Structure 1
Amino acid sequence: MEKFNNMAFQLITSEDIRQLTAERAGETKIGETIQSLSDFSVEAMNASSARFVTLGIKEDIGPRANLGRAGAHSAWEAFLPKFLNMQSNRFFNGSDCLIAGSIDLNGFANSNELGNLRAATSKIDQILTEILNTIHQAKKIPIVIGGGHNNSYSNIKAAAINHPKGKINCINIDPHADFRPLEGRHSGNGFSYAFEEGYLNKYAIVGLHEGYNSENMLNALDEKKVSFTTFEDIFIRENMAFISAVEKELRVVNDGQYGIEVDLDAVENIASSAQTPSGVSVTNARQFVHHSGSSSNACYLHLCEAAPSLSAHPDQVGKLLAYLVADFVKSRKNY
């Protein structure tokens, strides 16, 4: 744990969990059964029977470096009490999860100048890759909450360097492909950097918005053989049902280990870095996580870009994140 102290890593203790959990007679909450760590190390995680490690990321440098809105730093604080106060029962036993804590990375940017933000995003890449690598080394499945979609890079890289082939696949539900040029790191090019550096093999996207991806971006996707189904094809022209689109893109990535990326920008009217009035429903997002998680090849879940601090009802954003985490854990029951 000591090596992360200067990076503002906050370990969650059993006492922290108890204070956030509203105990009630005759009920058992996730906060009463979830596991915590004595220190952040492979050895401490190996001592736990939990299969999943939940980690919070407090940063919005990546979105700001992509000319987006601040706010993604606030997702973890909104998520945590909602998650801990879900019921631990026959459907979801909290002891399956270990809650590691969170890391506050916004201090890496000392100005809003674009070059400074992009340099800070690169520093975040290095730190998160190291942290996530520790989780993978312990043979646990990371569930990463908060921050910008720039952190897809670290999620992919950490999983890839722990895979025999040195690369993994990825499925993403997102209005944007986040495959922008290699112009300095930000939330819009995590996948293109991961592809260029050899960590990302096959990439598939569900719900791409036709009006918010440039022709240059689409050409880059074609060149790299990225598979995608657009939002308009699913919901406007109704050429394909939503679940059929998810299954189509899963067939692309499910020949090997793959990460699951959920950009909350995709969900209609949810406060996020690039909030949309036209997107998938909350139920669609939950279906995506369930179907994507229902394979032994799914190696992490990343929920990003949610910005509850921009919402009049931040607790509702936190509750959605809690639902998505529970859906992922439950989808893995047979694996």
Structure 2
Amino acid sequence: MSGLKFYSEKQINKLISQRPGETKLGEKINVASGLDDLEKTDAQFVIFGIPEDVGVRANYGKPGTSNAWQEFLKAFLNVQENKYNSARKILLLGELNTSEVMQKAGNIDVSDPNYVRKLGDLVEQLDSVVSEVVKKVISAGKFPVIIGGGHNNACGNLKGASEAFGHPINVLNIDAHTDLRKLEHRHSGNGFSYALKNGFLEKYSVFGLHRNYTAQYIFNDMDASEAFHYSLLEELSQKQRTAAFCDNLDFVREEKFGLELDCDAIANFPSSAVSPSGLTLDEARELIKEAAKERNCCYLHICEAVANDIYPTGKALSYLVTDFLKDKKHA
């Protein structure tokens, strides 16, 4: 698959609802025309999307995560630019050109006995492209903000970041699941397993984990290793959640770490594994802001969201991103 798909000014303008007397982020945002712009821009934050659901399908999940990026982009570009939100420090890099892998995935017969393994081969192709983009962004001294796709893309994020820094990094994952499934074909449920195996991940902390959807062998592995830390959602009252999250932060904050937010962790958020139980969106916003204050936080990845006609997915994602960017500026 090829790398990035960049946007033209005309494409961006079509997504902006302009009103007299108002300025939207999309009217002021820096828009990349090529990777060379990473070296030329003063922007601190580099946003790009991954419109795919191949990894989710390879994990026997519900497709749809491919559409979240476009919904986010429409909402984000129409956020008001004001004293709280500034586009000056943001570069819109574009989106991964996933059309080829998505088409190949769609052409695989679901009755094929090797269906998920063939999807896993495509996920490995995604891993390579994601890691290259993340590596280039961090190597240019910028902060990647990655939106969309399945949680399979965490592996590419970690590979790219660890190669840019020259050492494995830590991760804080806000998630209902660990994504530490077995080292079978690549899919959205084993991104962290592969990152550990390949030396990209050092310490791994999971906040908001659901005990009902975590296999015993995964609990055994985490309990036996000092590289893991986790907080079960069911063991935390709402009043305890912020303090518990800070404990998870303490586990990773001394070294570079990536922040991963799987939208499955938010109750009733349309996602590949939507749950009636979980964090509220406002709680997730508060946790994002807390993590943004950490100097060693080196990327943000929000994944597994699905856009539909009922829930304002794009707007919800834009709240999470603007919250993070505002607090990260002052970290």
Q: What is the TM-score of this pair, normalised by structure 1?
A: 0.93
* Distance (whole Å) between structure 2 residues aligned to residue 189 and residue 8 of structure 1: 23
Whether 1:94 and 2:87 are equivalent positions in the alignment is: yes
* Distance (whole Å) between structure 1 residues aligned to residue 3 and residue 165 of structure 2: 28
Whether 1:254 and 2:253 are equivalent positions in the alignment is: yes
Report if aligned partners of 2:116, 2:185 keep a CA contact under 8 Å in 1.
no
* Distance (whole Å) between structure 1 residues aligned to residue 195 and residue 241 of structure 2: 27
Q: Secondary structure at the match of 1:241?
A: helix
| 1:106-134 Cα shifts (integer Å, max 9, x gaps) | 23424141111111111111111112222
Whether 1:327 and 2:329 are equivalent positions in the alignment is: no
Q: Secondary structure at the match of 1:95?
A: coil
| 1:50-80 Cα shifts (integer Å, max 9, x gaps) | 1011111011011111111100000111101
* Distance (whole Å) between structure 2 residues aligned to residue 60 and residue 168 of structure 1: 26
Give the share of equivalent positions with the same residue, in percent: 37
Q: Secondary structure at the match of 1:58?
A: coil
Whether 1:69 and 2:62 are equivalent positions in the alignment is: yes
Q: Any gaps of 5 or more consecutive residues in structure 2?
A: none
2:290 aligns with 291
Q: Secondary structure at the match of 1:323?
A: helix
Mapping of residues 48-197 of structure 1, within 5 Å? 48-105=41-98, 106-109=102-105, 110-111=107-108, 112=110, 113-164=115-166, 166-197=167-198
Whether 1:25 and 2:20 are equivalent positions in the alignment is: yes
How big is the shift at 1:189? 0.6
- Which amino acid is the alignment partner of residue 186 of structure 1? H
How big is the shift at 1:158? 0.6
* Distance (whole Å) between structure 2 residues aligned to residue 207 and residue 323 of structure 1: 20
* Distance (whole Å) between structure 2 residues aligned to residue 124 and residue 38 of structure 1: 22
| 1:217-242 Cα shifts (integer Å, max 9, x gaps) | 1111123331001000113xx6x611
Provide closer, same or farther for how the CA distance between residues 108 and 169 of structure 1 changes in structure 2, counting only shifts above 3 A.
farther
Q: Secondary structure at the match of 1:301?
A: strand
* Distance (whole Å) between structure 1 residues aligned to residue 310 and residue 132 of structure 2: 34
* Distance (whole Å) between structure 2 residues aligned to residue 8 and residue 152 of structure 1: 17
How big is the shift at 1:7? 2.4
1:204 aligns with 205
* Distance (whole Å) between structure 2 residues aligned to residue 306 and residue 8 of structure 1: 22
Report if aligned partners of 2:136, 2:164 keep a CA contact under 8 Å in 1.
no
Q: Secondary structure at the match of 2:329?
A: coil
| 1:247-276 Cα shifts (integer Å, max 9, x gaps) | 010000001110000000111111100000
* Distance (whole Å) between structure 2 residues aligned to residue 107 and residue 157 of structure 1: 25
Q: Secondary structure at the match of 1:303?
A: strand
The CA RMSD measured in Å over matched residues stands at: 1.4
Report if aligned partners of 2:30, 2:88 keep a CA contact under 8 Å in 1.
yes
How big is the shift at 1:205? 0.7
1:300 aligns with 299
- Which amino acid is the alignment partner of residue 324 of structure 2? F
Q: Any gaps of 5 or more consecutive residues in structure 1?
A: 1-5
- Which amino acid is the alignment partner of residue 300 of structure 1? Y
* Distance (whole Å) between structure 2 residues aligned to residue 27 and residue 223 of structure 1: 55
2:30 aligns with 35
* Distance (whole Å) between structure 1 residues aligned to residue 3 and residue 275 of structure 2: 32
Provide closer, same or farther for how the CA distance between residues 288 and 108 of structure 1 changes in structure 2, counting only shifts above 3 A.
farther
* Distance (whole Å) between structure 2 residues aligned to residue 97 and residue 104 of structure 1: 21
1:3 aligns with none
Q: Secondary structure at the match of 2:152?
A: helix
1:273 aligns with 272
| 1:26-57 Cα shifts (integer Å, max 9, x gaps) | 21110111101121x2x311111110111110
Q: How many residues align?
A: 321
* Distance (whole Å) between structure 1 residues aligned to residue 180 and residue 156 of structure 2: 15
* Distance (whole Å) between structure 2 residues aligned to residue 276 and residue 231 of structure 1: 13
How big is the shift at 1:179? 0.5
Report if aligned partners of 1:59, 1:104 keep a CA contact under 8 Å in 2.
no
Q: Secondary structure at the match of 1:172?
A: strand
Q: Secondary structure at the match of 2:129?
A: helix
1:47 aligns with 40
Report if aligned partners of 1:60, 1:73 keep a CA contact under 8 Å in 2.
yes
